[in-house]
Chain A
Amino acid sequence: MIFEAGRIFTLVGWPAVLLLAWLAGEIAHRGLAIPRVCAYSLAGIVYSAWGGAPHDAETRAAMSFLANFSLALFLFELGHRINLRWLVTNYWLTLTGIAESLLTFVVVRAIALAMGQSPEIAMVLGALSVATSPAALVRVVNDLRGSGQVTERALHLCAINCLISVLLMKGAIGYWQLLASGSVVSAVWNSAAILAVSVGCGILVGVPLPWLLRRLRADERGVTIVFALAVMLVTLLTQGVNVSPLLAALTLGVLMRRKRLVLTPAQRNFGVLGELLTLFLFVFVAGMATWPTTAAGLALAVLLSLGRIAAKMSATAAFAHVSGTSTRKGALTGLALAPLSTFALLLLEYSRTAGFGLADSALSAIAGMVIVMEFVGPVFAQWALVLAGEAQRTEDA
C-alpha cells in the first residue's frame, strides 16, 4: 500500500513538473533569451535530485519508450531536412562532418586519458561526445526560425555525427565484446547487423507511406499525424528487435524528404503534440544525469566540454572555405553543434539494456560533461545562429 502511494505520488508529480518546466521555459525564452530546453533540463535535474524519477522497472520502461519516441520524432524531422544530394555534390561538407566527428573523438578521448580515465571509459566518452543532440539543435533552430548556411550545415553535420557516434559506440561495444568473448565475428556482426536492421526498419515503414498519403490526399495536419504514427511504429518495431530506433527514424525522415513529403512550417516540432513530448523528453533525460560529486569530476567535465567544442569548431572552420562558406560561419557552425546529452544519454541507456557492462561506470564519468553541456550546449547553438544573423528573433527584438 505504501509502495502504491509512492508510485502514485511519482506519477502525479510528472504533470506538475512538466507544467513548471514549461513555465520556466517560457520565462527563459522570453525574459532571459535562453533556449527553452535549458529550463526543461533544469527542471528535470531538480526533480530527479528530489527523488522524483521513477524507480520501478515498469514505469521506467514506459517512460523510456516515450522518450525514445519523442527523440525519434526529432530525428525524423532532422532526417527530412537532410538533402543527401547536397552531401554528394558538396562533398567537402561530408568530409567536414567526418573530420569533425573523428577529431572530437580523438580530442575527447585524449583528454579523458590524460585525466586518468581508463582506456575503455575514454573510448566511450570519445564516442558519445561525437554526437550533437538532434533534439536540442532542431528545437533551437525551430524556436529561432533559423534559416541560412550555419543552420543548414549544422543540421546536416548533426546527422552525420550522430551516425558516426552510433558506429563508434558500437565499435567500442564490439571492442569490449571482443575482449570478453574473443570473437571478432561477433563484434563486427553486432555493429553491422544493428545498423542494417535499424535502417531496414525505417525503409520498411517508409516505402508504403508516400503511397498511402497520396491515396488519402492528406492535408498538412493529416500528413503530420501519419508521420507521427509512422515514427511510433518504427520506434516500437526497432525496440522489439533491439536495434536503434533513432537511426530508423532518421532513415524514415530522409526517405519522406526524397518523396517530397514534408512538414509544413506550421507543423514543425510536430505541432502541440511535439511540444508536449519535447518537454517530457528533456525533463526525463536530464533526470538521468547527475552532478559530478568532486571538484576533479567537475574539472574533467569542463575540460572535456571545452575540448569537444574546440575540436568541432576548428574542424568546421578549417573546411569552411572549401565547402563554400566563410571561415567565420564555419566556426559558428561548429559552435552550433555544441548541444550534447539527449542522444548520448539514450544511447548509453540503450547500451546498458543491451548488456554493455562498461556503460555503468562510463555513465558516472560522462555525467559531468553531460550536465555542463545540457545547459551550455543549447545556449551556444543559439549564439551561433544569432551571431550568424540567421535567427528571426534578432530583428524582432
Chain B
Amino acid sequence: MPLETFHASSALSMGVELELQLVGEHDRDLASAAADLLELAQRQTFPGDIKPEMTDSMIEVATGIHDSHATLLAQLRLMRDALVKDATRLNVSLCGGGTHPFQQWSERRIFSAPRFQQLSGLYGYLAKQFTVFGQHVHIGMPDPDSALRVLHALGRYVPHFIALSASSPFSQGSDTLFDSARLNSVFAFPLSGRAPFVLEWSRFERDYFARMEDTGIVRSMKDFYWDIRPKPEYGTIELRVCDTPLGVDRAAQIAVYLQALCRLILSGEDPEPVEDDYLVYTYNRFQACRFGLDGLIVHPRSHAALPLRDDIAATLERLAPHADALRSSDALDALHRMVRGGGNDATRLRAVHARTRNLLAVVDDAVAAFAQ
C-alpha cells in the first residue's frame, strides 16, 4: 500500500489520545474490563472516541480536533466523567500513569481482535509487556514539508515532554529508579526510535517509505513506533513519548505546550534542524526517562550541559507570546509552576509510596487523581 497523501489540516489544531489503565476495585491489579467498558460506553453517545488497546485491561480514548486549550480540556473532562461513571457501574476504576505499579505482564490477556492477536503472534512476550499507557498528541500541519521540518526540529524538545509527563516510576512491583519506565518497553520494538532525517515529503515517500515497504517490513505508517511520526491521513505529526499523566488537566497542558512549540518552530524562531542534532538525542532522552525534571541534558548545538528543568523553564518563557496568541497562557503557567516548584507525577507517586510503603496505595492515589 503506497504512503497515503498528506491531507493538509488546519495548522496547529490539536487532538489528544490517552491510553488508560483499568484496575480492579478489590486488589487494585489490572482488570480485564475493556470489552465491558466499551459495551457500556457505546450504549450512549460517548463524548469522544473510545477503542480497545493491546491487552484487555487497557482502553484508549481520543478527543476530536481542537484549536484552543479551553475546548480541549472541556472535552477531556467530559470523556473522563463519562468513563468514571460507566466504570463505577462495572466495579472497576480508571487511572492514568505510564505503567501499572505491580501488575505481572504474564497475567495479561491480549484483547480479542484480529490485529492485536496478530501483533501478539509477531512480538511474543513484548506484546504483553507493552501493557503500558501513553499519551499521544496530534498537531495539525499546513503542508507535508512543514510537518517533517517541525518533526525534526521538535527532536531537541522530546526530553521536555518525557520529563513533564513522566508517571511510571514503578514496574512489576519495584521502583525502577526511572521517572518514565514505560519508554523502556517501547524501545524493545524493532521500529521504535526516531524518524529518518529527511526534510522533504517527496523524498521521504520515494527514498525511505517506498524502499522500506519494498523490504516487506512495513505496510503503513502505523508500523513505525517512532517517538514522533507524521500521520498523513490526518495531516498531523504525532508525539508519542509522553506517559499518560495522572490527570486530564496535565494532559491538556502538555498538548498545548506542544502546540505552542510548533507555532514557534513554524514561525522560524528556532534554527533549522540538522542531522547532527540527533547526536545527543538518545542520551538526552535517557536522562529525561531516568531522572525526569532533574535530568542533565546536552544542548545539541552548543554541547553545553544544562539542567532539564532550566531548559524547560527557559523554553516556557520563549513561548509566552505564542501562548498568548493561542490562548493557552494559563496552562503553560501551570507547567511553569510544576517545573519550578514540585515535581512531576512520578515524584508524586514515589511520595505516596514512601509514606505508605504500599503499592496498592499508589494505585489508589492514581485513581483518585484521575477522577478529580
Contact = CB atoms under 8 A, between A and B. Distances in A.
A255 to B, nearest CB: 13
Given A80-B26, A265-B104, A325-B39, A89 B32 contact: no
A145 B27 CA distance: 13
Given A83-B25, A147-B32, A260-B361, A323 B39 contact: no
A392 B32 CA distance: 10
B40 A324 contact: yes
A262 B104 contact: no
Contacts of A90: 88-89, 91
B29 A265 contact: yes
Nearest to A260: B360
Contact of B110 (A82, A260, A395): A395
A308 interface: no
A322 to B, nearest CB: 10
A326 B89 CA distance: 13
Contacts of B211: none
Interface residues of A, number: 29
A148 B29 CA distance: 12
A148 to B, nearest CB: 5
Contacts of B24: 147
B107 A145 contact: yes
Nearest to A89: B88
Contacts of B109: 392, 395
Contacts of A86: 25, 88, 91
B26 A257 contact: yes
A10 interface: no
Interface string A386-397: 000110100100
A263 B24 CA distance: 13
B36 A325 contact: yes
B283 to A, nearest CB: 38
A217 interface: yes
Contacts of B358: 260
Interface string B106-124: 0101101000000000000
A149 B26 contact: no
Interface string A243-271: 00000000000000100101111000000
Contact of B27 (A264, A390, A395): A264
A145 B364 CA distance: 22
B145 interface: no
A85 to B, nearest CB: 8
Contact of A262 (B32, B86, B360): B360
B98 to A, nearest CB: 21
Interface in B184-243: none
A61 B168 CA distance: 54
Nearest to B110: A395
Interface in A163-203: none
B109 to A, nearest CB: 6
Interface string A227-246: 00000000000000000000
A389 B26 contact: no
Contact of A389 (B35, B89, B364): B35
B364 A260 contact: yes
A312 interface: no
B357 A262 contact: no
Contacts of B25: 83, 86
Contacts of A89: 88-89
Interface residues of B, number: 28
Contacts of B364: 260
Contacts of A120: none
A143 to B, nearest CB: 14
A83 B35 CA distance: 21
A323 B89 contact: yes
A185 B89 CA distance: 41
A324 B26 contact: no
A81 interface: yes
B355 to A, nearest CB: 13
B174 to A, nearest CB: 14
Interface in B304-329: none
Contact of A83 (B26, B40, B104): B26
A148 B36 contact: yes
Contacts of B27: 262-265
Among B27, B91, B110, B112, chain A packs the most CB atoms within 10 A around the CB of B91
A349 interface: no
Contacts of A326: 39
A26 interface: no
Contacts of A217: 357
B33 interface: yes
A284 to B, nearest CB: 29
B50 interface: no
B89 A81 contact: no
B90 interface: yes
Interface string A145-156: 101110010001
A87 to B, nearest CB: 9
Nearest to A148: B32
Interface string B336-372: 0000000000000000000001101100100000000
Contacts of B148: none
A93 to B, nearest CB: 9
Contacts of B14: none
B39 A81 contact: no
Contacts of A323: 89
B31 interface: yes
Interface in A362-395: 389-390, 392, 395
A79 to B, nearest CB: 10
Nearest to B120: A395
Top 4 A-B pairs, shortest CB-CB distance: A324-B89, A147-B32, A86-B91, A81-B26
Given A147-B32, A265-B104, 4 more contacts: A80-B26, A83-B26, A152-B90, A262-B26
24 contacts: A81-B26, A82-B26, A83-B26, A86-B88, A89-B89, A145-B107, A147-B31, A147-B33, A148-B32, A148-B33, A148-B36, A149-B33, A149-B36, A149-B90, A152-B91, A265-B29, A265-B104, A324-B86, A325-B36, A325-B39, A325-B90, A329-B36, A389-B35, A390-B32
